[in-house]
Amino acid sequence: MEGLKFLVVSVVLALASSFASASDPSPLQDFCVAMNETMVDPQQVTEKDFFFSGLNVPRDTSSPVGSNVTAVNVAQIPGLNTLGISLARIDFAPYGGLNPPHTHPRATEILVVVEVGLIHFQLNVGKTNAVALASLSSQNPGVITIANAVFGADPPINPNVLTKAFQVDKKVVDYLQKQFWTDNNN
C-alpha cells in the first residue's frame, strides 16, 4: 500500500513538472496594427506603424543598478500586435553594470552581446560599456524584477512572511523593504 502511494505521488509529481516556455499564440493574420480606436480602416496603416528609431543610441547607465533597458514592444511599434515578437536594447555600465534578476511572464528570451563587453549573467565585469540585444517571443513580454517585486511591492508583503521565507532576521527584511528599488526599464 505504501509502495502504491509512493508510485502515485511520483507519477503526479513527474507530470506536474515541465520546462518553462512562454510565448504568444500563433498569429492568425499577417498583421493587425494595435490602435486605441476600435474601428480602424486597414487603409490607414502606414509604415510608421512598423518603425522605431534610435536603437543605435547609447543610453544613460548612471542608475543605481548601472543598466538601462530600452524596450521595443507593441507599445512602441503598434504593428507588432499579434506578431508574437519584440526586442530590447540593454546598456550596461562598466565595472558591474547589472540588469537585475527578472523574469518575462509572457516570453522566452535570447540575448546577444553586440558591443564589446564581458557580460556574465547580465553583469558587465568589463571596463567599457557593453550593449546587448534581447529578442523576446511576445509582443508584450512583461517584466518582473525579482528584488523589486519581493521587497518593493506596494502594498508591501507582510514582513513576517518574508522573514520566514528567506530565513533571515526581521531587521534584514525591514531594511530591504525600506530601500528604494530602482526600475531600469523605460
Ligand X SMILES: *[C@@H]1O[C@H](CO)[C@@H](O)[C@H](O)[C@H]1NC(C)=O
Chain residues binding ligand X by CB under 6 A are: 36, 59-60, 63, 68, 78, 184, 186
CB 73 within 8 A of CB 140: yes
CA proximity to 96, closest of 120, 112, 79, 71: 120
Let me know if 31 is exposed, middle or buried by CB neighbors in 10 A (0-12, 13-18, 19+): middle
Pick between residue 160 and residue 186 the one whose CB is nearest to ligand X.
186
Name the minimum Å distance from CB 59 to ligand X. Answer: 4
Residue 99 annotated as part of some ligand binding site: yes
Pick between residue 137 and residue 145 the one whose CB is nearest to ligand X.
145
End-to-end CA gap in the chain: 57
Pick between residue 74 and residue 173 the one whose CB is nearest to ligand X.
74
Name the minimum Å distance from CB 182 to ligand X. Answer: 7
Contacts for 62 with CB less than 8 Å, ≥ 6 apart: 93
Name the minimum Å distance from CB 172 to ligand X. Answer: 26
Residue 36 annotated as part of some ligand binding site: no
Grid cell digits, residue 137: 517571443
Grid cell digits, residue 14: 513527474
Residue 102 annotated as part of some ligand binding site: yes
Name the minimum Å distance from CB 4 to ligand X. Answer: 56
Name the minimum Å distance from CB 53 to ligand X. Answer: 14
Beta pairing partners, 144: 103
> Helix axis angle, 170-178 relative to 159-166, nearest 10°?
120
Pick between residue 129 and residue 138 the one whose CB is nearest to ligand X.
129
Pick between residue 58 and residue 156 the one whose CB is nearest to ligand X.
58
In the annotated binding site for oxalate, the residues are 99, 104, 109
In the annotated binding site, the residues are 99, 102, 104, 109, 120
